[in-house]
């Protein structure tokens, strides 16, 4: 489907409008999603494909440009991920990054070998500002290097346009054929002017106009959904998270009360979260749709009684959610479409959008397709990254507090309570978390931290409250900064803010007498606690 506006897996409704496209050829690099995101930030649509994608399919897609990612292999070794020479003869601009740069040189007659000095980390690179790639880039600029091999000799017809003391070919170009090779990673934030370089490639080299804008996406997607659904009935499992909320509002805009949203409140949400979701989507909200709230707290607590093992808790919560949703769906009867809030990272991580290893299977609402009577699935956000979903939400007029809500796991507080889940413990962590989030917002830090929350440990310790000895629980505060949620670093929250949070929690939340701050990155820890 060359150059089309994809609206997610809207059967029969994907081809909406001609649109320019950059494609990323994935050689197993850890930053493949980030490359696509950076290109899209330049208002140019971008998709990820495996290096095994045929030349014929690439031609069919009619891309404006091609970007080759990094990868873990040595391009000169037998069996290494590779591409044909024909890729560089299509007349389409190609940009190779790290492994992609080495592969370009190797395939086109240069020489790549083990580097005498490995470069890793922030390195000062000297660039040729006359190159289209480095227009408006500082002559000496900080870039992120991560390579064991290097380009010892550029391919014939290429000109060196960047170097470091240990890397003689930090970048090379054959401007006549629009071929560019960069040894470093412009897609990561550590490369200070990386986005400018990628922008130069898509605009100055590829000649893109920049037609990927969220208002256009929303407008065309709503239109396509209206045409596809017709007079059919649509069912949505609404969690209250940003993905399902944006998907639901899109359908509401498209088909109104033909949509029924089922919101299962399992009693493991953050403080007041169920009421906030109902305020937006319920009968008093701004959207014309059918809203069903199922208050199933007691049911979930009963199922979780005595269970301490994290994975067992996850399975119980997921399976019980399906049972509750199934019961409500049966009351509605046959529906034509089931809406899911699948987003593009879900597709990539499921092994469908590139060459990276399958990280996890993503089924936004568990095994629902096996239990609900419907004809087709609609995934209107399937082409979007998380930041694009938020932009779409704002375009749709969804309140900012919902659009920018912190990421929240499906099992909810069930995996932020170490050990057995009880109604009392849920209340404790809800109150502690609410205080933490309130103070983070007061300090103006809420938009600058990737994710932050309070978790209830199963550790109890001696404390003193007034003149009395206590033996109560410890709360752990977590805050991380991350780009892709695959890796994360602990956020440095000012001590005065942590002091206020700690004081308020121990004074305002019963049965908590100690507050801890988690300084562990991912890896070795995970972002969540269980």
On the question of pLDDT at 354 being above 80, the answer is: no
**390 and 420 part of one domain:** no
pLDDT higher than 50, residue 511: yes
Whole-number Å distance between alpha carbons of 249 and 229:
15
Is 239 one of the annotated binding-site residues? yes
**Predicted pLDDT at 370:** 58
Three-state SS at 478 = strand
Question: What span, in angstroms and rounded, lies between the C-alpha atoms of 344 and 505?
Answer: 38
Residue 410 lies inside a defined structural domain of this protein: no
Give residue 361's pLDDT. 35
Whether 277 is in a domain gets the answer yes
Domain finish residue from 403, 431, 457: 403
User: Residue 427's domain is classified under what CATH number?
Assistant: 3.30.300.10
Instruction: Read off the pLDDT of each residue in 373-397 and give the average, rounded to a whole number.
Output: 87
Q: Give mean pLDDT, residues 2-31.
A: 59
Query: pLDDT at residue 15 above 50?
Result: no
What are the pLDDT digits (tens) for 443-495? 999 888 989 999 999 998 888 776 677 788 999 999 998 765 667 889 999 99
CA-based nearest residue to 50, from 41, 42, 58: 58
Which of 47, 187, 355, 431 is catalytic? The answer is 187
167 part of the active site: no
CA atoms within 13 A on the CB side of 302: 5
CB 227 within 8 A of CB 257: no
- 8 Å CB contact between 392 and 216: no
In this structure, what is the dihedral angle of CA atoms 370, 373, 376, 379, given to the nearest 10 degrees? -70
Are residues 508 and 423 located together in one domain of the fold? yes
In the sheet that holds 111-127, the strands lie side by side as: 46-50, 22-26, 65-68, 94-97, 179-182, 167-174, 159-164, 111-127, 140-153
> Is 9 within a domain?
no
Q: Establish whether 245 is an annotated binding residue.
A: yes
Q: Is 243 labelled a binding residue?
A: yes
In terms of domains, do 369 and 281 share one?
yes
503 is an annotated ligand-binding site residue: no
Q: How many domains does the chain have?
A: 3
Kindly state whether residue 442 falls inside one of the protein's structural domains.
yes
Q: Is 187 assigned a catalytic role?
A: yes
Asked whether residue 187 falls in the same domain as residue 227, the answer is no
Whether residue 11 is contained in a domain is answered as no
Q: Which of 185, 236, 273, 530 is catalytic?
A: 185
Handedness of CA 25, 27, 30, 31 (dihedral sign): negative
Q: Which of 163-167, 356-360, 410-414, 504-508 has the lowest mean pLDDT?
A: 356-360
Helical spans, DSSP H, in 126-238: 194-200, 214-229
* Spatial distance between the Cα atoms of 302 and 239, rounded to a whole number of angstroms: 21
What is the token pair recorded at 503? 């004081």
Rounded Cα distance, 92 and 64, in Å: 7
pLDDT digits (tens, 9 = 90+) for 285-312: 899 999 999 999 999 999 999 999 988 9
Residue among 236, 219, 102 nearest 169 (CA): 102
Arithmetic mean of pLDDT over the chain = 87
Q: Any known ligand binding at 461?
A: no
Q: Active-site residue 185, yes or no?
A: yes
What does the alpha-carbon distance between residue 86 and residue 104 come to, in Å, rounded to a whole number?
11
Domain residues for 490? 416-517
Q: For residue 178, what pLDDT is reported?
A: 96
pLDDT digits (tens, 9 = 90+) for 220-241: 899 999 999 999 999 998 887 8
- How sure is the predictor about 369, in pLDDT bands with cuts at 50, 70 and 90? low
Any idea what the CATH number is for the domain that residue 336 is in?
A: 3.40.50.620
Question: Do 227 and 361 belong together in one domain?
Answer: yes
| 284 and 359 inside one domain | yes
Are 398 and 435 in the same domain? no
Residues 180, 33 within the same domain: yes
Q: Are 380 and 32 in contact (CB under 8 A)?
A: no
244 belongs to an annotated ligand binding site: yes
| In a domain? residue 15 | no
Q: Is 241 known to sit in a ligand binding site?
A: yes
pLDDT tens by residue, 186-225: 988 788 999 999 999 999 999 999 988 888 889 889 999 9
From 19-28, 333-342, 493-502, the region with the lowest mean pLDDT: 333-342
Task: Tell me: do 200 and 218 sit in the same domain.
Answer: no
Q: Among 173, 205, 237, give the residue marking a domain's end.
A: 205
In contact, 270 and 430? CB cutoff 8 Å:
yes
27-42 residue pLDDT tens: 987 778 889 889 998 9
The stretch 378-384 carries a mean pLDDT of 88
396-445 pLDDT tens trace: 988 888 888 887 877 889 989 999 999 999 999 999 999 999 999 999 99
Same domain, 381 and 430: no
> Does one domain contain both 86 and 140?
yes
Mean pLDDT, range 160-176, rounded to an integer: 94
Alpha-carbon gap, residue 323 to 329, rounded angstroms:
10
Q: What is the CATH number of the domain that holds 70?
A: 3.40.50.880
Compute the half-sphere exposure of residue 494: CA atoms within 13 Å on the CB side of its CA. Answer: 11
- Residue 358 has a pLDDT of 37
- pLDDT at 18 (0 to 100): 57
From 338, 371, 403, give the residue that closes a domain: 403
Question: Is 13 domain-assigned?
Answer: no
Band of residue 6 on the pLDDT scale cut at 50, 70, 90: very low
Catalytic residue of the set 42, 46, 75, 98: 98
d(CA 364, CA 362): 6
Same-domain pairing of 344 and 425: no
The mean pLDDT value for 242-264 works out to 93
**383: in domain:** yes
Over residues 94-151, the pLDDT tens digits come to 999 999 999 999 999 999 999 888 888 889 999 999 999 999 999 999 998 988 899 9
> Residue 11: is its pLDDT beyond 50?
no
Position 257 scores a pLDDT of 92
């Amino acid at each position: 489907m060359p150059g089309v506006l994809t609206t997610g897996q809207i059967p029969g409704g994907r081809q909406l409008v001609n649109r320019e496209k950059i494609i990323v050829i994935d050689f197993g690099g850890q930053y493949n999603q980030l490359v696509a995101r950076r290109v899209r930030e330049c208002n140019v649509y971008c998709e990820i494909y495996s290096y095994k994608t045929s030349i014929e399919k690439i031609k069919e897609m009619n891309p404006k440009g091609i970007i080759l990612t990094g990868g873990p292999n040595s391009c000169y070794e037998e069996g290494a991920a590779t591409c044909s020479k024909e890729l560089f003869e299509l007349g389409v601009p190609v940009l190779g990054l790290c492994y992609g740069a080495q592969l370009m040189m190797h395939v086109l007659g240069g020489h790549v070998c083990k580097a005498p000095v490995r470069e890793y980390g922030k390195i000062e690179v000297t660039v040729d500002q006359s190159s289209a790639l480095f227009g408006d880039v500082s002559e000496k600029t900080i870039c992120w290097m991560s390579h064991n091999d290097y380009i010892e000799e550029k391919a014939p017809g290429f000109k060196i346009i960047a170097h470091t003391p240990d890397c003689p070919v930090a970048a090379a170009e054959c401007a006549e054929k629009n071929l560019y090779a960069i040894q470093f990673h412009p897609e990561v934030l550590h490369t200070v002017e990386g986005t400018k370089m990628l922008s130069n490639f898509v605009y100055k080299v590829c000649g893109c106009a920049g037609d990927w804008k969220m208002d256009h996406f929303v407008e065309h997607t709503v239109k396509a959904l209206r045409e596809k659904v017709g007079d059919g009935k649509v069912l949505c499992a609404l969690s209250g998270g940003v993905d399902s909320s944006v998907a639901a509002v899109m359908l509401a805009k498209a088909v109104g009360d033909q949509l029924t949203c089922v919101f299962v409140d399992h009693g493991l949400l953050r403080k007041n979260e169920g009421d906030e979701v109902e305020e937006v989507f319920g009968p008093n909200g701004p959207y014309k749709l059918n809203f069903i709230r199922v208050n199933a707290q007691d049911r979930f607590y009963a199922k979780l009684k005595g269970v301490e093992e994290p994975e067992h808790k996850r399975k119980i919560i997921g399976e019980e959610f399906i049972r509750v949703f199934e019961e409500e769906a049966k009351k509605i009867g046959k529906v034509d479409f089931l809406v899911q809030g699948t987003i593009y990272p879900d597709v990539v991580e499921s092994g469908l959008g590139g060459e990276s290893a399958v990280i996890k299977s993503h089924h936004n609402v568990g095994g629902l397709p096996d239990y609900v009577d419907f004809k087709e699935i609609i995934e209107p956000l399937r082409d979007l990254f998380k930041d694009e979903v938020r932009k779409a939400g704002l375009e749709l007029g969804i309140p900012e507090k919902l659009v920018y809500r912190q990421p929240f796991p499906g099992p909810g507080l069930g995996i932020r309570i170490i050990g057995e889940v009880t109604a009392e413990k849920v209340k404790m962590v809800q109150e502690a978390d609410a205080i933490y989030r309130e103070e983070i917002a007061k300090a103006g830090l809420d938009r600058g931290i990737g994710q932050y929350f309070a978790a209830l440990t199963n550790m109890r310790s001696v404390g003193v409250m007034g003149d009395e000895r206590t033996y109560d629980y410890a709360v752990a505060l977590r805050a991380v900064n991350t780009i892709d949620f695959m890796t994360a670093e602990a956020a440095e929250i000012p001590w005065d803010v942590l002091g206020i949070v700690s004081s308020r929690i121990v004074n305002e939340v019963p049965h908590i007498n100690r507050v801890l701050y988690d300084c562990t990155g991912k890896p070795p820890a995970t972002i969540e606690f269980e």
